Amino acid sequence: MVLKTGNHVLYGKYAGTEIEIDGEKLLIMRQSDVLAIIAQ
């Protein structure tokens, strides 16, 4: 699976780890936590 900028994905409620870089909130998660890609 390859995700690109702009993809909309579904993931579990407690998936990933939130971090903040330069005031932007990001979510880092494993590929196995992604349930579906909605749009490309």
Total domains in the chain come to: 1
Digit-by-digit pLDDT tens for the chain (40 residues) are: 788 888 899 999 999 999 999 999 999 999 999 999 987 6
For residue 23, what are the contacts with CB-CB under 8 A and spacing of at least 6? none
* pLDDT at 11 (0 to 100): 94
- Global model pTM greater than 0.85: no
* pLDDT at 40 (0 to 100): 61
Structural domain harbouring 25: 8-39
* pLDDT at 2 (0 to 100): 82
d(CA 21, CA 19) in angstroms, rounded, equals: 7
Asked if the structure places residue 2 within a domain, the reply is: no
Asked if the structure places residue 1 within a domain, the reply is: no
What is the biggest distance separating any 2 CA atoms in the chain, rounded to whole angstroms?
A: 28
Asked if the structure places residue 19 within a domain, the reply is: yes
* pLDDT at 9 (0 to 100): 92
d(CA 17, CA 11) in angstroms, rounded, equals: 12
